[in-house]
Structures are given as structure tokens and as C-alpha cells.
Structure 1
């Protein structure tokens, strides 16, 4: 695509093709990626050591496995020494893994899981080098990451001033973005002259578009965290303007960011697929007034967007009802309306060629999974309300070809979110059906655990598969599934595997950096975000934002390298404005980061004590 006159390239946002979920689930993972001769990885504040570890640390009862890049054919000696006095704590020899399919690296692994003594250490491997310092201990490893990850959503609120007192750095405060969203025209007048009230939203990603299909999975992830752990982010726990209002802060944040969803419905017919500018915004945005002056419209409708409105408003109605019955009733009416309209036009796919340039497409030609996910939320909410419509929604759930399905999910493949809601919220479904769903969950979790043994880095993605746009979010979503499997069974294998996924995000990866801003000695600090990037010289990125990660499946920017192994298809430092395919940040990537960081810390006592079950 052509660059915009402002110099801000358009993030096309065609992130994951329909076949991605099948690839990651293993259906097509037999094809191997060949290493590229002579290809050197791009770096971004990269760790110079060949000894890759979680740059934050490890719980005492967790698996502690470093990846060592070396072509040595025989095992190498390793030593773990205390950083304070260089005292030797443990030693051993590496296991030769050999060629890592995803990265093309030749690697060994150093397993020091037997170490349970708390302290700060460095790992040295003979002839390879010494790692960054890291901790081993019983305390939660990421005690602020959940809160900091949630601040991402306040940072990206639109329609209201973003105030310094709620931000990590007050320099990022700004006037309201797109307050005119309370009255948005329809592109080419597709809704017959009506104007939509879509005020109250989160900027979806590197641009200022709002997209029901992507918002729905993001809101679901945060609300699923709340429904599984209502005490996680109670009133007063987050830096949001609504704190102290008697409602859980996580619900307040999702309620604000989701206000626009009901407004995507015109007076009749399907919901708008998306709202965005007619041209790409500046990069970075230095003048909020100029951004707000840009022409902006609601693009034509789709069935999937309408089901997205139905499922988000139904779920939000359910969690808000104890706190705000009147608002819950309004949302419930919107959910039922959206469902009825989608049922009346069940196969209207978004026409990606019939819109303005300034936003992503989010194409999706399969509607059955969206219908199932929406039916689940309507069924559960109707049941909680004692609504007589519950039986009809129940039939839509149980007759769906996706009933009980569990597997890789993202914004485009959402069946698993419906099943996970059924496992989180009480209903009158048969116990045998729920048991079958838990079996599907553990079967998928078992496949993820087993897959770790085949990989040189703990990426949780099969090494023979492409890395999709937002690969780090696919890893985070797999960690969410592992956490849910652990919660359902108590099996610590799943919890340890989830921690290994976090090891990958925090530095045990082929790009030699932590993909979470502010976490680790070598952490990403250069993400594709129009509000945070370069707007204020010397102002660092907020902590707790997840980078999209390597992407070799769909590259249409000038900075993300092509022809590299999957795990190294990631843009280098200082390239964020032109690296939307690998360095973008989004609501549906930070939402699972919040989920997993919260779950890992709240379950830390299970792996954090000396002699924890399974500790070696």
C-alpha cells in the first residue's frame, strides 16, 4: 500500500488468515521451515548473550530451562552462580537439541529446574557465554504486570480526555480523541441517512479504528478473567476514573471501552463492520485536534460484526447486572436485537473493497463460530436473568457444530471462547456435556505441553508452522488455555507449561529480547503505536505492553524482514513506524497478557514454595 503523505504507513491489519488456527492446532504442521542460508536476525535492544533465559526469573517449583545458541555437537558444561558473590550454586551439562525449526538456530538446553534456593543468579555455559541476571524465588514474578497491562486500555480510551493522574507517565495525557463519534455517518450512505452513536471505545491498535470483531474477543478475554476470578481487579485496584464507584475496576474499563458496540447497530439491519478515518492518521499523532478533524465513517455491515455486538453486550449485561441493573437491561436489549438481525441475515461477509483506506479489513468468511460464541453468551445471560428466551439460545448452542469445541482462538476463530464461557459460568447443561468440554480442553492443553519437547525455544507454537501476524498473542492465548486447564484439573503440568510460555515472551526467544515493554534488561521499547511512539521525546513506552511478535505469514510493511525463519521475522530497532506487521500493539494482544500475568501471579504459591509439589 502507498505511504500516507504524513509519513505514517497504513497498518493493513489483515493479521491472521482463516487457516492460521488450523495450522497452529497442528492440522497442517508437518511442513518444516527451512533455515535461510546467510540470514542474520534483526535485533531490537537485543541480549548479546547466546544464553537465553527469562530475564525476570523463575518460581522455585517451575521448570527452569535456558536455550543456548551453539553449534557444539556435544553437551557443554554449565554453572549457575549467585550474582552477589559469584558463589557456585549448581552445575551440569546441556542437552543437545540441534536445529530449531522455527528459528533456524542450532541450540542446546540447560535445565536447572532442581535449583530451589531463592536468589539472583547468572547462568554460564562453557564457550557460549553468560546470561543476564535473573531471580529464583517464591514471590510472584510479575506483581504489577496485570495492572500495567490493564493501563493499556485506559491509555487508548477514545471519546474522553486521557488524564495524567491515571497514566504511568503524565506526558501522555491528551484531549479526547474523536469525541465526534457520537454522530458518525455511514460510508456512501449505506444505512439510509442514519448516523451512528459509537462514542466510548478503545483505539483498537496502531490506528484509531474501532472494530466489533476484534473488540469482542478482547472484551471477552478480560470479562472471562473477571468471571473466573471476580476478586482479581476489584474496586480501587486500577488507575481508572471510575475507581471508588462500588464496581470492579476491570468491569468499569470493559464497560467504557464497549460503549460503542450497541451503537454499531443502525435503525434496521446488520451492524457496521468497523468505524475509522477515510485516510491513515499521522504517525505519530502530535496534534489531537488535527486527528479529530479527519473525516470518519461507519463502514458497511457484516453478520460477524452483528454477532460480535450480540455476544459482547450479552456478556457485559451479565457481569454488570448486580451493579447497574438499568444499564444491564439496556445491554440485554441490544444483545437480543443484534442476535435477531444476525439470524435474519446469517451470511453477509464484509466486502473489503468497499470502504475507505484508513482502517484494517478484518476479513472473515466463516460465520458459524461467531454464531456459536454469541449464542453461548445469550444463553448464559438469559439463564442468569430467568429470561424465557433461554431455551431458544440453549438450542442454538447445543445444535451448533462447534458445541464443546476447544482449540486455538483469535479474533477470527472464536468457537473456543464460547466453550470456555460454558466452563466458567453455571448453566443447566448436562454434566456429561461439560465433562466432555473439559476433556477437549485438556486434550488441547496436552498437545501444547507435548509440543514443548520438540522445540528449542518455549514458543508454544509448533516450529513447523508459520508465525502469524500477532504471533505473541497466539502464544498468550495458548497460555490462557493452559491456565484454564490447570484451573479445571489442578494439574501442575499445565501451569508449568504456561510459565514456559512466559519465559519465551520475557527473553527465551530467537530475537534475544523481552517482548513486553519495561520487563527485562533487554526489553522491547519501540512499538507501532500512533499515541506512544515518539510523541514526546525522552518519554519511554509505558510498561506492560505486548509486542505483536515475529510474523512470516502476512508481511506487507517495508520493515519486517522477509525470507527469514519464522521466529526471526521481526523488525529491528527504531523501525516501529514502518513495522506494523511485527511491532504493532493491539487490544486483543494485551488482553490475554493481562489474563495470563494475573493467573500466573495468583497461582504463584503453587510453584513458589521450596518443595512445591513436583519441584525437583
Structure 2
């Protein structure tokens, strides 16, 4: 039976397709189109002020239930050029369906709901989107988004094309069909970390996937699909191949009609370190559901660690680079110290072995603490968070104090950025580059960790502001997730959706967002970095999807969801 949330997504996608407006759209009040939880702060924005009073209409009665003054000019936002006025309707706490209006004018907001579960559909849709990224299998779960098995042939080794290996499975990385260990590990880690944070929220039968009904949470079933592929990428000596991809981009195809030969590229220590980390993390989680599988994961993690011990310098020298003549995703990394530290932290937390703790203690300061968000190329924050989630008696006092201090400075700096931004968006002007939405969501993940470790609700509020941005409170008056909201992104660069022509794209996918450096055919989208975006299915610079964009969204939305009762562990990590 199809879950109710899936029916709502399908009906919403159909409605948006039928009612989509063309050309210029009327200026509206900007807010979170998914809605608001009753107790949360509720802030909307307008850029033009046709009137100075607003009212909240109860759509069940068509009567106003709240009114107030539009805020005076707040911030002239440098990233977008917009002059922002604030509407604070936080006193609205009763569940229901509403609309904001500027009195005696035609300016309105999207219709929205106030309810405890406003983030549940987006959370589950984003998790199920990983199912639609599955490689090497038939896609058919009763929805329009289906295809026969794809990419079932063995891949050949790039440096030895006469030799081949089975590396089927896993998730397609993005809008095309490559598979990369760096993004796979970080994406799986985001989802596993969410499960570790709130295991009661994720149960069997929430998704429309083949494994539903096996008494294992569907979230873990989906992550296992990626873990099984990662296991295939490990070489006999413990090293992990960097990626599986084609040599050149030759066109756009349905997954099952992709004609290009796929190649296995060389081992990298960055990929091996990330592999060691996520396998150790997964081992302690799956031990509750499938102990033999958990032991297999842990053995593979330790085997990868032994490879790193035998190769203390980065492999290959200087870090992975695409060989001459190879185009497409490289995911090169010139430093592997952060992946090694993350691997040590996860192995210590899973095994309690002092050898991993000693490694962590001799190196945790060398990376300089927290200066940038979690990403496929920067994972030291994951190392620090994993360490702090261990029992207090297992933590070194000096290491704990260092992490608390660096996290405090880092998180406070992020809050300062949010306060200075007209949309309460965390990105600096220089951070509107490829995948900018994932950067903002990574910062939101960091702020959630700051809330959990340090205890201040200010950090939680800052994280929630980024969710508001992704879900419609942004310069484009649209959500950046397919299938969710009054105006969802409709034309992602996602070859499966584009070539299938099912009417609407696969739901639950996050697109890259504003990119000041991306100029499709030389077209400049805006003179402001925060407005360099268009919902154009050909513009992969701004509208391509990727698993490492969706995964941090799942973490953030899942944190604020009400999928199950339970309280966050606030300020108790590491013995606080």
C-alpha cells in the first residue's frame, strides 16, 4: 500500500503541473511553503511595501485571526540587492491552514499550514529520492518514475581495460550516472547520523521501496544499498577505488539506455579514509538489526584503516586527479588528514580501541578546528562530532575542551552572518558557487550539532532559518526541492526525470542553487551572487541535483520533523 505522504506528494506534483504559471509572477509575501511548527518563530519577508499592515487569514473560516504592522526597512541585502521588510506572526500557534495578506492590497503569501508535522513529508520524500537514484536494478514502486535495470555490466579498470569488476549497485551521484566514494560516504554518513540522533523516528514501512516490510527501518534499508556498493569498491589490500564513471560526457539518456562504458579509477587515500569512517559508523548502527552485516562492515573499515597505516602519505601523490582525457566529476582532494581523522574517530567510537584514540589525540588540533562546513572534501567536523557523541568517560578533557571552544567560535560566526543577511541566509557572497544550497544545509547541520553539544537554542533557530530558505523564503519565491511546496522546483537537471517525461520530476531532490560562477552559454543570470539562479532543466550549473545536496537536507528536515515522539539530547553530548 502506498504511504499517505506519497499520495500527497503525487497529488501535489500533479496540481503544480496543471496550475503552473507562465511568464512574470506577481510579487508575493515570502515564507516557508511547507509551513511552520506551532511553537517556532514565524517570520515572512516582503520586498515591496504596498501597505503597512498585515493580517493572517484562517482559510477554514475565511476570517482574519491575527493582524499587525509590517516591519520598517530592515536590511539592504548585499547578496541579492533586495530591501527587506519583516512580518512577524510568531504569535500564530493554532494548527490550521492560513494565508498572509497585506491589508487593502492584493499582495498575499502562499497558503501554508501550522502543524507539528509540517516537515514530515519533505523528510520522507527526500529519503525516498535516494531509491530513485539506485543503480543496477529495476525501478518500479507503483509511481510514474520507473525504468528497467540499468548499468548491469561490469566496469573495466581505466588503467587495465582488459580487466573488469562488478561494481553494480549504489546510487547515481547526481543528474547523470557516475558514482563517487567521496559523495557516497558523506551522504550515507548524513543519513546514518540522523538515524543515530533519532532512531525512533525511522521505522519499517515508511517508504515505497522493495525492502519495506522486513522489520528494518526503511532509512537503513536505503543506506544499505549504497553501503553494499561501497564494499565492492574496496581492493584486496584495503584501499578503496576513488570512483566509477565514464571517460566523457556524450549526452542525456534514461538510465537503462546509457550506452557509455564505465571505468573504475584508481585507489585514493581520501576515499579510503572516508570509507573507513562511514563503515565504522554503519557497523554500530546495523549491529542492532543485522549483526553479521555489521561485522562485515567493521572488518572492511579496519582493513581500510590498515591500508592507511601502511600508506601514511596521501595516495596518489598530490591527491586524486582525473587522468588526461577524462572529463566529468573528479572529486579531487589534495589533503587526506581530515578523512583519516574522521576514520579514527568513528573506529574509536565503535570499537573503543585505544589505537584509534591515540591517533585522534595526536592529530585533532592539526586541522585547526572548525572553519568550514561538512562537505565531500572537508570532513573534519564529522570527526569532531563523532568524538563528542561518545560517552563522557571515553573523552579526553583537552580534546573535549578544544572541540567545545572551536565549535562555539564557529557557530557564533555563522549566527553573525545570518543576522546580517536580509533573508537570514548563512552564505557569504563568495559562497554562491556550485552546490551553494548544500553549503547552507551543511552549515545548518553544523548549527544543529552546536545546539546539541553547547545547548543554546540560538543555534537551533539559525539552522531552522536555512530550512526556511530552502523551502521558499528566498529571492525566487520557490522551494529548492522537487514535489514540495506551493512553487517547487519543476525543471531540475536530472536525466532520469528529463528523459522519462512523466510530467513532473522525481520528488524529494534538492537542486544546487544560486551560482555566481555558472554561466550556461555565457548567460549572466544576475549581477548579485544570491540571485544567480533559474529553474531551467538545462542549466546544470544551478539546477542539477546530487545525493550530497539531498542528504544534508534530509538531516536538517528530519531533525525538525515529528515522525516520532522524542526529545533531542540537548547539551548532553560528551557529558555536558
TM range (shorter): 0.7 to 0.9
Contact persistence 1:50–1:130 (CA under 8 A): yes
Of residues 522, 545, 557, the one that matches 2:509 is 545
Contact persistence 1:51–1:128 (CA under 8 A): no
Deviation readout 1:439-483 (Å, 9 max, x if unpaired): 543443333333322111122223x43312111111222222222
Of residues 551, 559, 569, the one that matches 1:591 is 551
Residue equivalent to 1:397: 360
Q: Return the alpha-carbon distance in structure 2 between the equivalents of residues 403 and 325 of structure 1.
A: 37
Please state if 1:213 is matched with 2:182: yes
**CA 1:551 to 1:230, structure 2 compared with 1: closer, same or farther past 3 Å?**
same
Q: SS at 1:533's partner residue?
A: helix
Q: Return the alpha-carbon distance in structure 2 between the equivalents of residues 47 and 437 of structure 1.
A: 47
Residue equivalent to 1:172: 145
Residue equivalent to 1:480: 445
Q: SS at 2:201's partner residue?
A: coil
Cα drift, residue 415 of structure 1: 0.4
Q: Return the alpha-carbon distance in structure 1 between the equivalents of residues 169 and 454 of structure 2.
A: 39
Cα drift, residue 232 of structure 1: 2.0
**CA 1:339 to 1:391, structure 2 compared with 1: closer, same or farther past 3 Å?**
same
Residue equivalent to 2:475: 510
**CA 1:470 to 1:127, structure 2 compared with 1: closer, same or farther past 3 Å?**
farther
Q: Return the alpha-carbon distance in structure 2 between the equivalents of residues 418 and 311 of structure 1.
A: 9
Q: Return the alpha-carbon distance in structure 1 between the equivalents of residues 266 and 112 of structure 2.
A: 52
Contact persistence 1:90–1:115 (CA under 8 A): no
Of residues 123, 132, 135, the one that matches 2:100 is 123
Cα drift, residue 117 of structure 1: 4.0
Cα drift, residue 298 of structure 1: 0.7
Contact persistence 2:96–2:115 (CA under 8 A): no
Contact persistence 1:81–1:88 (CA under 8 A): yes
Cα drift, residue 545 of structure 1: 1.8
**CA 1:353 to 1:246, structure 2 compared with 1: closer, same or farther past 3 Å?**
closer
Contact persistence 2:370–2:410 (CA under 8 A): no
Please state if 1:244 is matched with 2:213: yes
Contact persistence 2:151–2:255 (CA under 8 A): no
Q: SS at 2:219's partner residue?
A: helix
Q: Return the alpha-carbon distance in structure 2 between the equivalents of residues 324 and 121 of structure 1.
A: 46
**CA 1:119 to 1:324, structure 2 compared with 1: closer, same or farther past 3 Å?**
closer
Contact persistence 1:213–1:412 (CA under 8 A): yes
Contact persistence 2:120–2:562 (CA under 8 A): no
Deviation readout 1:146-171 (Å, 9 max, x if unpaired): 21111111111112212224xxx2x3
Please state if 1:331 is matched with 2:307: no
Cα drift, residue 421 of structure 1: 1.5
Please state if 1:569 is matched with 2:532: yes
Contact persistence 2:200–2:565 (CA under 8 A): no
**CA 1:145 to 1:562, structure 2 compared with 1: closer, same or farther past 3 Å?**
closer
Where do residues 20-419 of structure 1 align in structure 2 (5 Å cutoff)? 48-70=26-48, 76-83=52-59, 84-87=61-64, 89-125=66-102, 130-135=107-112, 137-165=114-142, 169=143, 171-180=144-153, 183-189=154-160, 195-268=164-237, 270-280=239-249, 282-283=251-252, 285-286=253-254, 288=256, 290-291=257-258, 293-345=259-311, 346-347=313-314, 348=316, 349-354=318-323, 357=326, 359-383=328-352, 390-400=353-363, 401-402=366-367, 405=370, 407-419=372-384
**CA 1:458 to 1:429, structure 2 compared with 1: closer, same or farther past 3 Å?**
same
Q: Return the alpha-carbon distance in structure 1 between the equivalents of residues 101 and 190 of structure 2.
A: 39
Cα drift, residue 588 of structure 1: 0.8
Deviation readout 1:25-79 (Å, 9 max, x if unpaired): xxxxxxxxxxxxxxxxxx998853242111232223222222211389xx94333
Of residues 496, 517, 530, the one that matches 1:531 is 496
TM-score normalised by length of structure 1: 0.80
TM-score normalised by length of structure 2: 0.86
Contact persistence 1:375–1:394 (CA under 8 A): yes
**CA 1:409 to 1:45, structure 2 compared with 1: closer, same or farther past 3 Å?**
farther
Contact persistence 2:38–2:114 (CA under 8 A): yes
Residue equivalent to 1:3: none
**CA 1:353 to 1:547, structure 2 compared with 1: closer, same or farther past 3 Å?**
closer
**CA 1:325 to 1:233, structure 2 compared with 1: closer, same or farther past 3 Å?**
same
Q: SS at 1:221's partner residue?
A: helix
Contact persistence 2:36–2:42 (CA under 8 A): yes
Contact persistence 1:103–1:567 (CA under 8 A): yes
Q: How many residues align?
A: 540
Deviation readout 1:356-413 (Å, 9 max, x if unpaired): 5453111211211111111112222222xxxxxx221111111112486475121111
**CA 1:537 to 1:362, structure 2 compared with 1: closer, same or farther past 3 Å?**
same
Q: Which runs of 5+ in 2 are unaligned?
A: 1-20, 568-576
**CA 1:583 to 1:410, structure 2 compared with 1: closer, same or farther past 3 Å?**
same
Q: Return the alpha-carbon distance in structure 2 between the equivalents of residues 510 and 207 of structure 1.
A: 28
**CA 1:212 to 1:486, structure 2 compared with 1: closer, same or farther past 3 Å?**
same
Q: Return the alpha-carbon distance in structure 1 between the equivalents of residues 347 and 425 of structure 2.
A: 35
CA RMSD of aligned residues (A): 2.9
Q: SS at 2:56's partner residue?
A: strand
Structure 1 stretch 334-343 or stretch 265-274: which is displaced more?
265-274
Cα drift, residue 524 of structure 1: 0.7
Q: Return the alpha-carbon distance in structure 2 between the equivalents of residues 537 and 162 of structure 1.
A: 14
Cα drift, residue 188 of structure 1: 2.4
Contact persistence 1:571–1:583 (CA under 8 A): yes
